[in-house]
Homo-oligomer: A and B are copies of this chain.
């Protein structure tokens, strides 16, 4: 319970790897997959996702790969997770108010508060903090 998904995990590993190599260097998927023993195809999809979101920049063709473009200081953990995995909340009703039980639910408010605290905490963490 309460685990990060592999997608998030792999994305963080990759970003840190790229960060360490410097932001002009082009790194390809295979290199990272082998270094950390991650399934190539899955990492590939993850990196493609990061590229679509503008966090890394794809370089196609031979000797291609990805180059770190985003300023990781400016990207917080809440946004990062949500951009990879969608809405992050302890209960669905945090985002989606279709819950039939909304009227009778007796724990909604406290849960919303905890949720806000977690988000707030994640908001304060930049990816740069995590990858350096």
Measured CB to CB, the residues of A under 8 A from B are: 1-5, 9, 12-13, 16-17, 20, 35-37, 77, 81, 85-92, 100-101, 104-107, 110-111, 114, 117-118, 121, 125, 129-131
The answer on a CB contact under 8 Å between B9 and A107 is yes
Oligomeric state, in number of copies?
A: 2
The answer on a CB contact under 8 Å between B129 and A1 is no
Q: What is the minimal beta-carbon distance from A78 to any residue of chain B, in angstroms?
A: 10
Chain B hits for A105, CB < 8 A: 13, 36
26 A-B pairs in the complex with CB atoms less than 8 angstroms apart: A1-B85, A1-B88, A2-B2, A2-B88, A2-B89, A3-B90, A3-B92, A4-B91, A12-B107, A13-B105, A13-B107, A17-B106, A20-B106, A35-B104, A36-B101, A36-B104, A36-B105, A36-B106, A37-B101, A37-B104, A77-B114, A107-B131, A110-B129, A111-B130, A117-B121, A118-B118
